[in-house]
Every structure is written in structure tokens, then in C-alpha cells.
């Protein structure tokens, strides 16, 4: 059996019981940058610029005693949390409408397998024409 530091392992176990994963700092940087860049030519360009800015500012969090390290971030301090609440209220809904979801999609595999990607694209185009 390998020797190990029982106190360190127990402290890590306790910390893992209720993990704190917080992306608020990332999204605060994203939405603040998005709001600053109205001069960019398209929403997609603003979106890409905001993501690049937010990713540039990400710093991995390394907790005491970790051997395998890195988390997205720590919870925001109160003053940044208040800023994040205000920015989110002003920007989040318009972006949801513009860009839809970016994960956790429910794919109709039966339709995809039956019609193929070209068939699904044709179906979307027909539906878009009907809605115009």
C-alpha cells in the first residue's frame, strides 16, 4: 500500500462533498465586453469578441493540497456579484433570444437518420419560408 497524507486526503474529501463551481466571473467579463462592443459589425462578431475576452481572463483556481488541479473560478466577491446581477439583468435575455441555446440540445435522431442532414436543412428552409 502506498503511503499517503490522511489529513490532506480528508480535507480534499470534505471540500468535494459540496463542490463550488461558479462561472459568474467568466460571464461577467463576457457580458461587460459584449455591452462595450456595439461598434462591431455583427452580433456574431460581438459574441466572438466577448467570448475571447472572457476566456483570456480565466485563471485556474488551485486549492490547497490539490495534486490534480484547476477549477473554473471562485465565487465572486460581493461588489462583483452585484455588478454581475446588474449586467445579467440588462444583457442575458436579449442574447438568449438572439443565439438560442449553446448546449444540452434535444436532437431528433429518428428524423436525422431518416432524412439526413441535407433533408433536415431543407426542412428548416421550408419552415423559415413559411414563417416569412
pTM: predicted TM-score of the whole model, two decimal places:
0.50
Average pLDDT for 87-106: 61
Q: Which residue has the higher pLDDT, 90 or 121?
A: 121
Question: Is 25 among the domain residues?
Answer: yes
What pLDDT band is residue 125 in, cutting at 50, 70 and 90?
very high
pLDDT for residue 70 is more than 70: no
Q: Give yes or no: residues 75 and 115 share one domain.
A: no
What pLDDT band is residue 103 in, cutting at 50, 70 and 90?
low
Phi-psi region of 47 (alpha: psi -120 to 50; beta: other; left: phi over 0): alpha
DSSP code of 38? T
Q: Give yes or no: residues 113 and 132 share one domain.
A: yes
Question: Is 1 among the domain residues?
Answer: no
Task: Output the CA torsion sign for 90, 57, 22, 44.
Answer: positive
Q: Give yes or no: residues 63 and 90 share one domain.
A: yes
Q: Give yes or no: residues 12 and 69 share one domain.
A: yes
Q: Give yes or no: residues 67 and 121 share one domain.
A: no
Give the model confidence (pLDDT) of 2-39 as tens digits: 677 888 888 888 877 776 677 788 888 898 899 888 88
Q: Give yes or no: residues 61 and 85 share one domain.
A: yes
Q: Give yes or no: residues 121 and 75 share one domain.
A: no
Q: What range does the domain containing 131 cover? A: 104-132
Q: Give yes or no: residues 43 and 93 share one domain.
A: yes
Question: Is 49 among the domain residues?
Answer: yes
pLDDT for residue 122 is more than 90: yes
Q: Which residue has the higher pLDDT, 47 or 20?
A: 47
What is the number of structural domains in the chain?
Answer: 2
Amino acid at each position: 500500500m502506498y503511503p499517503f497524507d490522511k489529513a490532506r486526503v480528508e480535507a480534499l474529501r470534505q471540500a468535494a462533498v459540496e463542490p463550488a463551481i461558479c462561472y459568474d466571473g467568466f460571464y461577467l467579463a463576457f457580458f461587460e465586453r459584449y455591452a462595450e462592443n456595439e461598434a462591431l459589425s455583427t452580433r456574431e462578431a460581438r459574441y466572438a469578441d466577448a467570448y475571447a475576452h472572457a476566456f483570456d481572463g480565466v485563471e485556474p483556481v488551485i486549492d490547497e493540497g490539490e495534486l490534480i488541479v484547476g477549477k473554473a473560478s471562485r465565487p465572486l466577491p460581493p461588489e462583483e456579484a452585484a455588478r454581475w446581477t446588474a449586467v445579467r439583468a440588462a444583457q442575458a435575455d436579449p442574447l438568449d433570444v438572439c443565439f438560442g441555446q449553446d448546449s444540452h440540445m434535444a436532437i431528433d435522431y429518428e428524423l436525422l437518420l431518416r432524412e439526413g442532414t441535407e433533408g433536415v436543412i431543407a426542412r428548416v428552409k421550408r419552415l423559415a419560408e413559411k414563417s416569412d
